[in-house]
């Protein structure tokens, strides 16, 4: 992709510099530290906040579940926000903070928070919601719906094809700020909240017991040691 950076005041010294960028490779953040960046957010009471997910995890010695959704005042989205709210006590039992996120403004978030559930709103949601209006964090994570982009020289702007809102991305971050799970759903597909509780249980088991968790593992089931003998014993259990 190419675009032009203009220098000067439009007079004789005005120059256009063509800069070529390589296509950004979208990488996984699993096993890496979550981006250390603060983002605007709002509380259930309408307080304007700045939240840094990395610091939220490290400074408070907690796990963080961050889930992104495309837009306020839409259709699948409120079902997910209410589902995470309903499960909030279970996340709290697991020392996990839940935070929602989209690219809407704090003002739009607050209007939605004050819209009744039976009218498509999220009244009753108590966890904070990020307002990544400048798309700094969502762009770093690579979760925006951008099909393509092209520089329009005539109008001196970058034209984007796509909605430029986020997919349904979910991140689980541990107490050290490391991402131990990420997933991205297409926009029509709502999440299964119970699966994130299972993943937190599994990761906590690994942290505390030193065992690994096989397929379909749930709390209370047998895990195994990551050795030849361990997998043999598990498969013959």
H helical segments located in the chain: 53-60, 76-86, 88-93, 106-113, 136-141, 193-209, 228-235
Give the closest residue to 129 by CA, choosing from 80, 197, 188: 80
Catalytic-residue membership of 77: yes
Chain position carrying tokens 């020392």: 95
Q: Which of 30, 101, 97 minimizes the C-alpha distance to 62?
A: 97
Tokens of 173: 């971050």
Q: Show the tokens assigned to 130.
A: 């990020």
Supply the residues annotated as catalytic.
77
């Amino acid at each position: 992709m190419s675009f032009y950076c203009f220098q000067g005041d439009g007079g004789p010294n005005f120059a256009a510099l063509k800069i070529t960028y390589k296509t950004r490779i979208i990488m996984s953040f699993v096993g890496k530290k979550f981006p250390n960046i603060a983002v605007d957010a709002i509380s259930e009471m309408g307080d304007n906040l700045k939240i840094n997910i990395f610091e939220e995890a490290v400074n408070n010695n907690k796990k963080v579940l961050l889930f992104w959704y495309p837009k306020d005042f839409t259709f699948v989205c409120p079902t997910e926000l209410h589902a995470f709210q309903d499960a909030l006590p279970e996340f709290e039992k697991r020392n996990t903070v839940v935070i929602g996120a989209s690219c809407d403004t704090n003002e739009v978030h607050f209007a939605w928070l004050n819209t009744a559930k039976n009218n498509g709103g999220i009244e009753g949601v108590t966890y904070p919601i990020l307002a990544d209006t400048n798309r700094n964090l969502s762009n770093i994570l690579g979760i925006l719906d951008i099909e393509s982009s092209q520089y329009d020289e005539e109008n001196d702007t970058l034209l984007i094809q796509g909605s430029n809102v986020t997919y349904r991305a979910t991140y689980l971050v541990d107490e050290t700020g490391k991402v131990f799970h990420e997933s991205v759903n297409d926009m029509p597909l709502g999440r299964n909240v119970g699966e994130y509780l299972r993943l937190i249980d599994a990761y906590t088991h690994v942290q505390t017991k030193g065992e690994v968790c096989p397929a379909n593992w749930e709390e209370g089931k047998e895990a195994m040691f990551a050795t030849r003998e361990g997998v043999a014993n598990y498969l013959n259990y």
